[in-house]
Amino acid sequence: QKEVEQDPGPLSVPEGAIVSLNCTYSNSAFQYFMWYRQYSRKGPELLMYTYSSGNKEDGRFTAQVDKSSKYISLFIRDSQPSDSATYLCAMSYNTDKLIFGTGTRLQVFP
Amino acid sequence: EADIYQTPRYLVIGTGKKITLECSQTMGHDKMYWYQQDPGMELHLIHYSYGVNSTEKGDLSSESTVSRIRTEHFPLTLESARPSHTSQYLCASRVGAIGEQYFGPGTRLTVT
C-alpha cells in the first residue's frame, strides 16, 4: 500500500466551478502538508503549505488537513482555464524528505 | 520566487553515452534534491545533499551519481545511459527549516 493515495483523474470542470482535490495517507507521523501545481512539461510549483491540522486560505485556494481522518484537500474557487494542470499533494514527517501523491490532472474548460 | 535552473531542458541521446544533467540555484540553499518522475507516477527521490561535499542516495535506486562541490551546483551524471533511464529528472532545493521544496523546470531525457 502506498503511503499517499491520490486519484489521478482526469477531472474536467467548467470555468467558475469549485474544484475539490484530495489525498489520503497512512502514516500518522506526517506533520507537513503541501500542494504543488505542475503544468505540462514544467517543474512542480508550490501552491500551499500547511503544518499539522487546520485550514489555510490564499486567494482562490484553500487547503484543509484532517489528521484524524488522514485526509487532506485543496479547494479551488472560481476555477479558471489557467488552473488546468496536474495537482500533486506532498507530505513529510521530518521537514526533509517529501512523499508525493501521483497527482490529479485537472482540466477547466471555458 | 525560486531561482533554480536545469539544463538541458530536453535531451535525446544514444545508449552507452555519458551524460550530465545540470542543476543550479542562486538562493544559497544548503539542501538540494534530485527526483525522477515518470508519466502518471509520483515523484521519486533519487539523490539529495545537505551541503557541500554531502551526498546521499534517495528512496529509489538509481544508477546515476551526483556531486556537490559548490553550494549552488548539484549535477547528476549517468556514466552509461540506457533506455530504462528515459524519464523526467527534477531538481529541487529547500528553503530554511520550514520544509517547502522549490523545483526547477526539469530535464526530459530520452535514451534511444
Q: Is B13 exposed, middle or buried (0-12, 13-18, 19+ CB in 10 A)?
A: middle
Q: Cell numbers of B50, please? A: 545537505
On whether the CB atoms of residues B4 and B104 are closer than 8 A, the answer is: yes
On whether the CB atoms of residues B75 and B24 are closer than 8 A, the answer is: no
Q: Cell numbers of B1, please? A: 520566487
Gyration radius (Cα) of chain B, Å: 13
Do the Cβ atoms of B99 and A46 come within 8 Å?
no
Do the Cβ atoms of B48 and A4 come within 8 Å?
no
Tell me which residue in A2, A49, A100 faces B100 most closely, judged by beta carbons: A49
Q: Which of B79, B78, B104, B76 is nearest to B90 (CA)?
A: B104
What's the confidence (pLDDT) of residue B44? 93
* CA-based end-to-end distance of chain B: 36
Tell me which residue in B45, B106, B108 faces A97 most closely, judged by beta carbons: B45
Do the Cβ atoms of A102 and B104 come within 8 Å?
no
Neighboring chain A residues of B106 at a CB cutoff of 8 Å: 41-43
The pLDDT tens digits of the residues spanning A58-76 come to 999 999 999 999 999 999 9
Strands A11-14 and A104-109: parallel
Q: Give the B-side interface with A, CB within 8 Å.
A: 6, 31, 40-43, 45, 48, 58-59, 90, 92, 94, 97-106, 108
Q: What is the C-alpha to C-alpha distance for residues A22 and A2, in angstroms, rounded to an integer?
A: 15
pLDDT at A89 over 70: yes
Cα angle A43, A44, A50 (rounded to 5 degrees) comes to 160
The pLDDT tens digits of the residues spanning B67-110 come to 999 999 999 999 999 999 999 999 999 876 666 788 999 999 99
What's the confidence (pLDDT) of residue A53? 84
Neighboring chain A residues of B97 at a CB cutoff of 8 Å: 95
- DSSP state letter for B73: B
Q: What is the C-alpha to C-alpha distance for residues B108 and B89, in angstroms, rounded to an integer?
A: 6
Neighboring chain B residues of A42 at a CB cutoff of 8 Å: 105-106
What's the confidence (pLDDT) of residue A96? 72
- DSSP state letter for A82: G
Chain B nearest-CA distance from A88, in A, is: 8
Gyration radius (Cα) of chain A, Å: 13
